Amino acid sequence: MDFSFTEEQEMLRTSARDFLGKECPKTKVRELEADERGYHPQTWHKMAELGWMGLVIPSEYGGTGGQFMDLVLLLEEMGRNILPSPFFSTVALCSLPILEFGSKGQKEEFLPKVAKGEIILALALTESSATYEASEIRLRATPKGEEYILEGTKLFVNDANVANYLLVATRTGDRENPEEGITLFLVDATSRGIKVEVIPTTAPDKQCQVNFDKVTVSQQNILGEVNQGWEIVEFILQKATILKCAEIIGASQAALEMSNSYAKERVQFGRPIGSFQAIQHKLADMLIEVDGAKYLVYEAAWKISQGRPAILEVSMAKAKACEVHQRACLDGIQIHGALGFSQDHDIGLYFRRVKAAEFALGDADFHRERIASELGL
């Protein structure tokens, strides 16, 4: 296991940090919180020009054919800058499964458009229970000739308000094992019968309720095989979860650095507050926690990049990253004192996103259950 990065990867990290710092300062982040789209189209197209959307897409589909670890580092920098963007939804949640399970025609249709930044994709997976269990997928897809009719509701669909296509998990079979009756469809978001409503959140991220009222979809839009879609969901849960973890540790690292800098600058009782043991120990604990989570994430990402089973490592990383992120932001607010509770300070921007990151792709308890299962319990 080698955690060192190539020269190209270090260049990607540096260029991403410079670009995001320039294109999306915290003033822009605040503006986009109130924007109904939740992202800046001009920045989106600049990201596409840099090759970010096509980072791991093969050159035959217009991408650069990069490695999974390249995407991990890029998401870490996006999390560090809390970039408001449908990048995660489009690339991590949707284009990766299309690349892995899509037909030749589906790859040729969708992947070049993703790489050019021409389309936005969103994953419609969770429903009223908001859990990631096959038994909770109840949106029904009923066959009708060479088409399917979709009826039901999806909740907490990130970026559905701006998506051109939705990757929808549906119930197509009622079997004893609920995992055997799942089918995924690529659905045009402008199809008749689709209604999208943004759900107000604290983050505020663009999580949506999507209603499907007798939506017609061609069987050619099935991703993978009928009733075999849970394999694709598991693929998404593994790869996208570790990419979400990378985003989380990037944000946690930023909270740590912000707090450390403030402790050196803020003078109280005639000296910097960082000279007091209570602050020193708090920052030391933050560093230990953030670095510990970071290497759990890197280990899981390395295993995935090597094609090795990583269910246990992914769940360990997500459970740890969620808790570390919350502690880092809360401790950071305490170090900043009253200033940390103000809406205008940057540490508050990070804290407002803690819960959104925690529940995305399973909270700590969900992943502890998966860890217990891997332990044979």
Residue 148 to residue 214: CA distance in whole angstroms: 9
CB 309 within 8 A of CB 347: no
User: How many angstroms separate the Cα of 111 from the Cα of each of 95, 97, 269, 326?
Assistant: 7, 11, 59, 35
Which positions ≥6 away from 121 have C-beta within 8 Å? 86, 89, 90, 93, 94, 95, 110, 114, 163, 164, 165, 166, 167
Mean pLDDT calculated for residue range 338-365:
83
What is the predicted pLDDT for the residue at 1? 62
CB 176 within 8 A of CB 161: no
Same domain for 288 and 366, yes or no, is yes
CATH value at residue 46: 1.10.540.10
Same domain for 257 and 370, yes or no, is yes
Domain boundary among 191, 206, 226: 226
Same domain for 219 and 244, yes or no, is no
Same domain for 112 and 128, yes or no, is no
| Global confidence as pTM | 0.94
Residue 298 to residue 191: CA distance in whole angstroms: 40
Residue 2 lies inside a defined structural domain of this protein? no
Same domain for 253 and 370, yes or no, is yes
Same domain for 66 and 139, yes or no, is no
Residue 70 lies inside a defined structural domain of this protein? yes
Residue 313 lies inside a defined structural domain of this protein? yes
Taking the mean position of all CA atoms in its chain, how far away is CA 367? 16
CATH value at residue 183: 2.40.110.10
Residue 280 to residue 286: CA distance in whole angstroms: 10
pLDDT at 356 over 70: yes
Mean pLDDT calculated for residue range 290-302:
94
DSSP readout, 252-310? HHHHHHHHHHHHHH-EETTEEGGGSHHHHHHHHHHHHHHHHHHHHHHHHHHHHHTT---
Domain boundary among 79, 97, 119: 119
Same domain for 97 and 169, yes or no, is no
What is the pLDDT confidence band of residue 285, given thresholds at 50, 70 and 90? very high
What are the tens digits of pLDDT across the range 111-136?
999 999 999 999 999 998 888 999 99
Same domain for 86 and 165, yes or no, is no
Same domain for 279 and 370, yes or no, is yes
Residue 340 to residue 319: CA distance in whole angstroms: 26
Q: How much is the CA Rg of the chain, to the nearest whole Å?
A: 21
pLDDT at 290 over 70: yes
Residue 237 to residue 131: CA distance in whole angstroms: 12
Same domain for 370 and 251, yes or no, is yes
What are the tens digits of pLDDT across the range 82-117?
999 999 999 999 999 999 999 999 999 999 999 999
Total domains in the chain come to: 3
* Residue 298 φ then ψ, to 5°: -65, -40
What percentage of residues in the chain have a pLDDT greater than 70? 99
Domain boundary among 119, 146, 180: 119
Residue 352 to residue 19: CA distance in whole angstroms: 23
Residue 112 lies inside a defined structural domain of this protein? yes
What is the predicted pLDDT for the residue at 307? 87
CATH value at residue 249: 1.20.140.10
Per the prediction, the chain carries an average pLDDT of 93
Q: Which domain holds residue 41?
A: 7-119
What is the predicted pLDDT for the residue at 131? 87
Same domain for 210 and 182, yes or no, is yes
Q: Bridge-partner residues for 210, per DSSP?
A: 154, 196
Residue 205 to residue 360: CA distance in whole angstroms: 11
What is the predicted pLDDT for the residue at 188? 97
Which tops the pLDDT comparison, 202 or 36? Answer: 36
pLDDT at 347 over 90: no
What is the predicted pLDDT for the residue at 43? 95
DSSP readout, 9-65? HHHHHHHHHHHHHHHS-HHHHHHHHH-SSSS-HHHHHHHHHTT-TTTTS-GGGTS--
Same domain for 17 and 84, yes or no, is yes
User: How many angstroms separate the Cα of 171 from the Cα of each of 56, 180, 243?
Assistant: 30, 9, 27
What is the pLDDT confidence band of residue 76, given thresholds at 50, 70 and 90? very high
pLDDT at 154 over 90: yes
Residue 1 lies inside a defined structural domain of this protein? no
What are the tens digits of pLDDT across the range 16-67?
999 999 998 988 988 888 888 999 999 999 999 999 999 999 999 999 999 9
